[in-house]
């Protein structure tokens, strides 16, 4: 008998762990950390079920497939709220892949959720989701600035810097000084929620989301830069590539008024120089920050046709070039990237792969 059930650690723990180890060929895959599993699928403030938001398919006591679900509260351009969910870690055992279990799980999620947003989809996943009616929005824009050209060269796909990375704009100290020093927690006086840069769809960046996603993450130490009026915020973290030792700063959220965009980016670049970082990058759907990013020395990788920087650093992998996004529109009409606010922080595109990097309680 085949059943689709909600994951229960006591009922499915051993069979599920065996399934994950076999699927990823890794006894230390991040989902095997109880702390990460709880944070991802149970502690999420948008989870109203009281149980893990993880569906498993069980056949005669053996786990043969799963779909992880990360719910979020969505915000529409008119401010209306809607229920949303990110599907993650859709896995089917190879000997069961011909029977359509992946389609069954995704179709159930689409029927039960107002909006399904799928960043980071594989080619096979994109084909599946498109076949079920989801819209393929393409890949997020990636903006990069090389803050140390010599170190950054080690992270280029062919050892050759993109021509656009050869010049970095000077930072304005006045702009940088208009921003608070980096902090690990949002101050009490920060707003209850931060506004998207354009009227658009996205996962609501309210205080509960920001605290859960960044302050309580069990594997990454995120830092906040805020404008002095506390109305704009940039979220980033450090990532060190182990083979070269290169430090990369990764922007994962930027919610900033027009006057605060350049000061926040300039302050981060000054931090990058102080810390000896080789690169700073930012994956985003919105074009709203294009002018500010280019003013501070970033270039879009789409514009560089002679070389690229690796997008995955743990481990260093030059094959990973983009974050593809599919969505089921919360409204009646099709949408474009310009109508969304999506970054690397959405779904699980910004997290460790190794359970040993997770801080156990």
Q: Are residues 111 and 161 in the same domain?
A: no
For residues 73-79, average pLDDT: 93
Instruction: Provide the CATH number for the domain around residue 348.
Output: 3.40.630
Q: Which of 116, 150, 182 lies at the terminal end of a domain, its last residue? A: 116
Q: Is residue 99 part of a domain?
A: yes
Q: Is residue 346 part of a domain?
A: yes
Query: 315: cis peptide before it, omega within 30°?
Result: yes
- Copy the structure tokens of residue 138: 């393409």
Q: Are residues 61 and 167 in the same domain?
A: no
Q: Are residues 88 and 149 in the same domain?
A: no
According to DSSP, the residues that pair with 312 across neighbouring strands are: 317
By DSSP bridging, strand 247-255 and strand 233-240 are antiparallel
Q: Are residues 163 and 57 in the same domain?
A: no
CA distance 283 to 138: 13
Nearest to 57 by CA among 109, 18, 1, 10: 1
- Copy the structure tokens of residue 285: 């759907």
Q: Is residue 122 part of a domain?
A: no
Q: 295: number of CA atoms within 13 Å, CB side?
A: 15
Q: Is residue 128 part of a domain?
A: no
Q: Which domain holds residue 22?
A: 2-116
Q: Are residues 99 and 182 in the same domain?
A: no
Q: Are residues 333 and 214 in the same domain?
A: yes
Helix pair angle (123-131, 101-112), 10° resolution: 60
Q: Is residue 183 part of a domain?
A: yes
CA distances from 194 to 38, 59, 123, 231, 287 (A): 26, 45, 33, 7, 18
Q: State residue 247's pLDDT score.
A: 97
CA distances from 182 to 258, 264, 271 (A): 20, 11, 9
Q: Are residues 102 and 151 in the same domain?
A: no
CA distance 10 to 295: 54
Residues with Cβ < 8 Å from 169, sequence gap 6 or more? 295, 296, 297
Q: Is residue 254 part of a domain?
A: yes
Flag whether pLDDT at 174 surpasses 70: no
- Copy the structure tokens of residue 235: 């979220």
Q: 349: number of CA atoms within 13 Å, CB side?
A: 30
Q: What are 265-278's pLDDT values in tens digits?
A: 999 999 999 999 99
Q: Are residues 67 and 146 in the same domain?
A: no
Per-residue pLDDT band at 124 (split at 50, 70, 90): confident
Q: Which of 83, 116, 149 lies at the terminal end of a domain, its last residue? A: 116
Q: What are 32-47's pLDDT values in tens digits?
A: 999 999 999 999 999 9
Q: Picking from 6-15, 168-177, 243-252, which range would have the lowest pLDDT averaged per residue?
A: 168-177
Query: Which contiguous run of DSSP H or E holds residue 176?
Result: helix 173-177
Q: What are 317-337's pLDDT values in tens digits?
A: 888 778 999 999 787 677 888
**Domain total of the chain:** 2
Mean pLDDT of the chain, nearest integer: 91
According to DSSP, the residues that pair with 253 across neighbouring strands are: 235
Instruction: Provide the CATH number for the domain around residue 25.
Output: 3.40.630.30
Q: Is residue 136 part of a domain?
A: no
Which segments within the chain are labelled E, that is strand? Answer: 2-6, 54-59, 62-75, 81-92, 115-119, 135-139, 141-146, 201-203, 223-226, 233-240, 247-255, 279-284, 299-300, 312-313, 316-317, 324-327, 340-341
Q: State residue 169's pLDDT score.
A: 53
Q: Is residue 74 part of a domain?
A: yes
Q: Are residues 64 and 151 in the same domain?
A: no
Q: Are residues 110 and 159 in the same domain?
A: no
Q: Are residues 101 and 195 in the same domain?
A: no
Query: Which contiguous run of DSSP H or E holds residue 271?
Result: helix 258-275
Q: Are residues 176 and 112 in the same domain?
A: no
């Amino acid at each position: 008998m085949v059943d689709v059930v909600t994951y229960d650690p006591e009922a499915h723990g051993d069979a599920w762990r065996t399934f994950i180890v076999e699927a990823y060929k890794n006894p230390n895959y991040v989902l095997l950390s109880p702390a990460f599993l709880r944070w991802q699928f149970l502690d999420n403030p948008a989870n109203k079920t009281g149980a893990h938001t993880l569906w498993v398919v069980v056949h005669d006591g053996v786990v043969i497939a799963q779909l992880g679900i990360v719910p979020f509260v969505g915000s529409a351009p008119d401010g209306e709220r809607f229920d949303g969910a990110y599907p993650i870690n859709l896995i089917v055992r190879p000997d069961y892949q011909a029977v359509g279990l992946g389609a069954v799980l995704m179709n159930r999620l689409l029927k039960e959720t107002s909006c399904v947003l799928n960043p980071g989809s594989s080619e096979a996943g994109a084909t599946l989701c498109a076949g079920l009616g989801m819209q393929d929005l393409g890949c997020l824009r990636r903006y990069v600035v090389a803050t140390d050209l010599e170190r950054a060269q080690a992270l280029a796909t062919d050892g050759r810097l993109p021509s656009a990375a050869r010049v970095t704009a000077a930072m304005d100290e006045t702009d940088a000084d208009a921003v608070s020093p980096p902090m690990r927690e949002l101050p009490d006086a920060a707003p209850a929620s931060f506004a998207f840069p354009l009227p658009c769809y996205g996962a609501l960046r309210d205080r509960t989301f920001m605290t859960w996603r960044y302050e309580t993450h069990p594997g990454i130490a995120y830092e906040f830069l805020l404008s002095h009026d506390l109305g704009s915020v940039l979220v980033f973290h450090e990532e060190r590539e182990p083979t070269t030792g290169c430090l990369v700063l990764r922007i994962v959220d930027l919610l900033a008024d027009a006057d605060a965009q350049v000061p926040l980016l300039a302050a981060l670049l000054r931090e990058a120089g102080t810390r000896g970082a080789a690169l700073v990058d930012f994956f985003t759907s919105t074009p709203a920050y294009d002018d500010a990013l280019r003013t501070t020395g970033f270039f879009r990788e789409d514009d560089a046709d002679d070389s690229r920087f690796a997008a995955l650093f743990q481990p260093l992998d030059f094959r990973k070039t983009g974050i593809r996004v599919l969505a089921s529109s919360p409204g009646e009409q099709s949408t474009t990237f310009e109508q969304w606010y999506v970054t690397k922080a959405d779904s699980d595109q910004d997290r460790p792969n190794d359970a040993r990097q997770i801080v156990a309680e």
